[in-house]
Amino acid sequence: MSDNNNLLIENKFEPVTYDPQYILMVNSLKKYFPIKGGMISKTVGYVKAVDGVTFNLKRGTTMGLVGESGCGKTTAGRTILRLSGEKTGGQVLFNGQEVYDLSSKEMRALRPKMQIIFQDPFSSLSPRLPVGEIIGEAVREHNLVPKEEFDDYIDSIMDDCGLQPFHKDRYPHEFSGGQRQRICIARALALNPEFVVCDEPVSALDVSIQAQIINLLEELQQKHNLTFLFISHDLSVVEHISDTVGVMYLGSLVEYGKTEDIFRNPLHPYTKALFSAIPVPDPDFKMKRIVLEGSIPSPANPPKGCKFHTRCANCMARCKEETPVQREIEPGHYVVCHLYDK
């Protein structure tokens, strides 16, 4: 199995130049995880978790990242924040600065600017720390506020996120799921970030609580001029909250554009199938559903050519051979598919 092809890492891309209207520019980002095997644990292959993701994110907007589980949404989010070791290839420019070029000291100074809200509010809070300490720990670590103002600062952050001051001395187990997610949001916001990755912040919550958290995120975004990368598999939530949407399949971005464009006029066959699968709360609504056969292929051994060709209804001969490139179909609407080659 371990022929050289499996171990070859292609890392060719056109470097982008910084454009100040974008807070984040991601160019051909790749993150492979090695598969170890054999007697001496040598690398026999790679799991291509993120394999060519390119997008730009404007200041103060929200980008939704959707896709099936296992398509690399979360890894993409973490790789952008430099939270999962070194990248395999590509560029991540945060305010024009390549994140992976920074020394650990510089990185530490940058950390407060980019934060993350994790998916599961039940496992992402330390059960041993009181809530005030959870929220304030990083603030103290980075010396963001003087000691005498510290308590007031934490109170004001908690108030922003809909928590009461007396919650400060309580422990996470005393809170419900929605309130825990508020604590996670407060923890991320306490550092006064510019950019927040929200990794499925509402998927562990009930419908009525979901609405509260989504509204809270939108309020905070306006108040603090935040930029969100909103990772979710719930398309209706993504449509509600995002300005731009990226659709991921097997590690790559297959379609990317403004929310209205994507939902009004989905181009990629995968996006079409994904959107037709959304259940609509109306019993009279009959949609022609495109049911995708089979399941997502293994990212350790992705299909040749277009990665989607094994499940695609419009598969052509060249899809099996040639890898499609990203094309701009209408202004700001990009798609990676041979169907739209001129």
Write out the residues near another protein by the rule CB under 8 A: 68-69, 176, 178, 206-212, 214-215, 218, 233, 235-237, 239-240, 263, 273-285, 289, 291-292, 295-296
Spatial neighbors of 184 by CB under 8 A, at least 6 apart, are 117, 118, 121, 124, 125, 201
Q: In what order do the strands lie in the sheet containing 89-94?
A: 42-58, 22-37, 89-94, 97-98
Least separation in angstroms between residue 48's CB and another protein is: 18
Least separation in angstroms between residue 4's CB and another protein is: 28
Per DSSP bridges, beta strands 244-249 and 62-66 are parallel
Least separation in angstroms between residue 64's CB and another protein is: 12
**DSSP label of 140:** H
Which one, 44 or 290, has the nearer CB to another protein? 290
Which one, 4 or 295, has the nearer CB to another protein? 295
Which one, 175 or 195, has the nearer CB to another protein? 175
Which one, 117 or 296, has the nearer CB to another protein? 296
- CA torsion angle 301 303 304 305 (round to 10): -140
Least separation in angstroms between residue 277's CB and another protein is: 4
Count CA within 13 A, CB hemisphere, residue 322: 11
Which residue intervals of the chain are DSSP H helices? Answer: 4-7, 73-80, 104-110, 131-141, 150-160, 177-189, 207-224, 235-241, 259-264, 269-276
Least separation in angstroms between residue 293's CB and another protein is: 8
Which one, 42 or 289, has the nearer CB to another protein? 289
Residues 238, 245: contact at Cβ < 8 Å? yes
Q: Give me 62's structure tokens.
A: 């929200």
Query: In angstroms, rounded to a whole number, what is the distance separating the alpha carbons of residues 147 and 155?
Result: 14
Query: In angstroms, rounded to a whole number, what is the distance separating the alpha carbons of residues 243 and 230?
Result: 10
Which one, 22 or 270, has the nearer CB to another protein? 270
Least separation in angstroms between residue 295's CB and another protein is: 5
Which one, 103 or 295, has the nearer CB to another protein? 295
Least separation in angstroms between residue 181's CB and another protein is: 13
